[in-house]
Structure 1
Amino acid sequence: DEVGTTGRGIGPTYEDKAGRRGLRIGDLTDPEVLRERLEYVVPIKRTLAEDVFGVEVGEERETASPSPNDEADEVGLAFDVEALYEEYREYGERLVREDMLVDAGDFLARRIDDGANVMFEGAQGTIIDIDHGNYPYVTSSNPTAGGAATGTGLAPSVVGDGDVIGIVKAYLTRVGSGPMPTELGGVPGDTPGYDGDPENPETESEELAAWIREEGDEYGTVTGRPRRVGWLDIPMLRHAARASGFTGLAVNHVDTLAGLDEVKVGHSYTLDTDERSSSSNRDAGPDDGEETFTMPAVTGRWAECEPNLRTFEGWPEFDGSEVAEAGYEALPENARVYLEYLENELDTPVYAVGVGPARTETVVRHSPF
């Protein structure tokens, strides 16, 4: 699909959460509440399946049925209150029996009060944040630093009181559709207007994209689909740094770009269109032909931006283990020039540099712990 989801039902689950239809883990531990919630939500799901998707779900049973004998039975059980009640009641009993549940906010607050170091690790990235990304080409959650507060129950002041490290590759990748001004080549179905073959590149841009994709193993972890790749995008990074309040950067895949004659960066944008936006959008981005150093607030305007590229001399291949052991100064000089450019443009120090695929192949310049 054009958004680039994994197809595992995450989006519909978030829809249920926003619609106050979702089952929460705590509901599984109270049989009365569990039954009440199922009796409310299952009829809604049955109607959706039958009337919108045309799925035959069969008659609802009055008592729990045994394991399904065929696919039709399996579909029916997914919409059967009694069967679902028995299954999830057992899950709830196990959660209680094995003491697997905690109040996350309270648990973490007590650990912090006791002097423990706590690290929150996010996934995905700012540009697909449901609130701060290029909507509608976004995920269903908040991958920004603020998501650590909403996802744990700790106050924003607690999260903001520590270090916020922005993890970024030395180049840009993306899964799914949406604007990507610095893209190289393309991926059919994801890159707007692209109908080439990433596996059989014909242009220089496609060849470079294919090379980076192979060197960096840029394929979806769950889906295996090829990721879109491009040069690093400074206006986009500037937006990410502002949205999350980065105090440091960890730049990975510096080794992936080793061996290239030159490395480019999207330094700024120029809005390349002769058509003006509606009057309501004129304050939401740059004028035509104007250079801008931040992302336009309107996704459609971002899609019209052309990158102004800055070129850096490439750096030779190196042994990641040796560089990690020797430290930052052991990096090739041109790689350090590139990293220091990022520091200056984002006004954020580089805390760590990834110089190989292994965890040990990391140059740590500063540890928040």
Structure 2
Amino acid sequence: MAAVVLVGAQWGDEGKGKITDYLAEKAEVVVRYQGGSNAGHTVMVEEQEFRLHLVPSGILYPGKLCLIGNGVVVDPAVLVKELDGLAERGVDTAALRISNRAHLILPYHKGLDVAEEERRGDARIGTTGRGIGPAYVDKTARTGIRVGDLLDWDGFREKLARNLAAANEVMEKIYGRPGYDLDAVLEEYAGYARRLKPLIADTVRLINDALREGRRVLFEGAQGTLLDLDQGTYPFVTSSYPTAGGACIGAGVGPTRIDKVLGVAKAYTTRVGAGPFPAEAKDDIGDMLRERGREYGTTTGRPRRCGWLDAVILRHAAEVNGLTGLALTKLDVLTGIEPLRICTGYRYGGEVLKDFPAALKVLEQCQPVYEELPGWQEDISNARTLADLPPACRGYIRRVEELTGVPVQIVAVGPQRKQTIILEDPF
């Protein structure tokens, strides 16, 4: 038996889709435990590219039980579109189940999200405008509407009428925007209720039953450690808990059920949106990494900011997640760059910080301390074992292990499933 949590060890976009896809083949149950349609996983199957936003990556393997956990906020419009798109491409989605405890995103959440972000002006935090934050606000305020409420239409109508009245008042009086029509929203969501009803289930029971039966369970996180509501670069964070502890809350399992935590990190660093980024390369290297690595958001298409690998971030991720291993992705993107750099600390106020600072003002003033390593010129995209990699490439991997204290268990040298070197299987 093994329960493995897969987390992003940077600002998200680390290539978790590829690693999840590899692990999902060995897992029997795949659980998405937080976030919403603001996240996305890109998975390459042969020559086909799949972009998944809410559906767990395990859906691409027939017979895998795929669960959207209670910690996810679900936009039914996005989910139905995603299911239809998968069906058109011959993917069977019959094994998907949605937690009855997961919260719904409604039209007013998206309207409030966009209006509030525009109101922030220069202080924008980079939200995707998909209603994720406002949905989590309602959840925390105990006024949210859950997926299970779709099964009680009278109750759903009553809750929606209450929330819509409050949301319309804010939209009209504070933001000067039109509100939402109750009957129109009810009609739209009645269609979603009919479509999703067969998929709604008590996923907490399904997950814990699977663990008791000794089945292999993969907990799939969205975003990354530095976007965690508590452990990230607050307030430039998401509204949920992408860290490993979030898997317990967002799936409904106790911490003693978790066996291993695998962190996914690019061989360099990227982030989307605003906020401090000490190791950002604001030169030709940053542009090169963006184009070589196709660094554009799966969900939004926004260009990602790119920079050198930041070991300060990875040490922070190792601690707060309890990482037992690392998956290092996109190592092939670094081919031909000489020399390579790794940020090993931050220079601030006359001292060098080895720990990731909590205060945003401190982080904004931090300057990266770099260590240079030799690069390699050889094409590594066909490497399938560690021995196939050039000595400088193996040295880079070893240095990542030394700086983080975490063994590298998986190395990705390209986007295809076969372009993966397995040093130690987490399952």
Q: TM (normalized to structure 2)?
A: 0.69
Corresponding residue SS for 2:217: coil
The residue that corresponds to 1:113 in the other structure is: 212
Paired residue for 1:239? 316
User: Take 1:328 and 1:5, find their aligned partners in 2: how far apart are those partners?
Assistant: 39
Aligned to 2:137: 15
- Return closer, same or farther for 1:267/1:89 CA change in 2, 3 Å cut-off: same
Map 1:150-299; keep pairs closer than 5 Å: 150-159=249-258, 162-185=259-282, 206-271=283-348, 288-299=349-360
Q: Which amino acid aligns with 2:285?
A: L
Deviation by residue 1:184-209 (Cα, 9 ceiling, x = unmatched): 11xxxxxxxxxxxxxxxxxxxx1111
3-state SS in 1 of match to 2:333: coil
Secondary structure of 1:220 counterpart: coil
Question: What is the rounded CA distance, in whole Å, between the counterparts of 1:119 and 1:164 in structure 2?
Answer: 10
Amino acid of the residue matched to residue 222 of structure 2? Answer: A
Match of 1:300? 361
Tell me how far 1:319 sits from its aligned partner: 4.1
| Higher-strand-fraction structure | 2
Deviation of the 1:94 alpha carbon: 4.3
Q: Are residue 351 (structure 1) and residue 409 (structure 2) matched?
A: yes
Say if 1:126 and 1:240, in contact at 8 Å, map to a contact too.
yes
What is the alpha-carbon distance in structure 1 between the residues aligned to residue 177 and residue 235 of structure 2? 28
Amino acid in the other structure paired with 1:320: S
User: CA offset at residue 337 of structure 1?
Assistant: 0.6
Displacement after TM superposition at 1:157 (Å): 2.0
Q: 2-side partners of 1:299 and 1:332: how far apart?
A: 39
Partners of 2:168 and 2:178 within 8 A in 1: no
Contact 1:249–1:350, Cα closer than 8 Å, also in 2: yes
Give the letter aligned to residue 424 of structure 2: H
Equivalent in the alignment of 2:189? 88
The correspondence for 2:201, drawn from 94, 97, 102, is: 102
Deviation at 1:217, TM superposition (A): 0.6
Could you tell me which residue of structure 2 aligns to residue 145 of structure 1? 244
Whether 2:148 is the aligned partner of 1:26: answer: yes
Counterpart pick for 1:330 among 388, 393, 406: 388
Distance 1:146 1:119 in 2: 14
- Give CA deviations for 1:5-53 in whole Å, capped at 9, x if unaligned: 2222212211221222221011110123112212211100111121122
Q: Which runs of 4+ in 1 moved over 4 A?
A: none
After TM superposition, the score normalised by the length of structure 1 is 0.79
Q: Provide the rounded CA distance (Å) in 2 between the counterparts of 1:181 and 1:319.
A: 29
Counterpart residue type for residue 304 of structure 1: Q
Counting only pairs closer than 5 Å after superposition, residues 127-146 of structure 1 correspond to structure 2 as: 127-146=226-245
Write the deviation string for residues 94-117 of structure 1: whole angstroms up to 9, x where unpaired. Answer: 444xx3111111110001111210
Inter-CA distance 269–319: structure 2 relative to 1 (3 Å threshold) = closer
**How many residues matched?**
305
Unaligned ranges ≥5, structure 2? 1-116, 118-123
State the alpha-carbon separation in 2 of the partners of residues 84 and 214 from structure 1: 41
**Counterpart contact for 2:339–2:375, Cα < 8 Å:** yes
Sequence identity (%): 42
Question: Residues 86 and 209 (structure 1 numbering): CA distance in 2 closer, same or farther, change over 3 Å?
Answer: closer
TM-superposed deviation, 1:90: 4.7
Deviation of 1:303 (Å): 1.4
Partner Cα distance (2:195, 2:373) in 1: 57
Gaps of 5+ in 1: 58-78, 186-205, 272-287
Q: How far has the Cα of 1:357 moved from its partner?
A: 1.6
1:167 partner SS: strand
Larger Rg: 1
Question: Out of 123, 128, 131, which is 1:6 matched to?
Answer: 128
Once the two structures are TM-superposed, the CA of residue 314 in structure 1 deviates from its matched residue by 0.4
**Superposition deviation, residue 313 in structure 1:** 0.3
Q: Distance in 2 between matches of 1:88 and 1:350?
A: 45
Once the two structures are TM-superposed, the CA of residue 84 in structure 1 deviates from its matched residue by 3.0
Q: Which secondary structure does the structure 1 equivalent of 2:201 belong to?
A: coil
Query: Once the 2 structures are TM-superposed, how far is the Cα of residue 86 of structure 1 from its aligned partner?
Result: 4.2
Q: Render the CA deviation track for 1:101-134: whole Å, top value 9, x for unaligned.
A: 1111111000111121000111211111111101
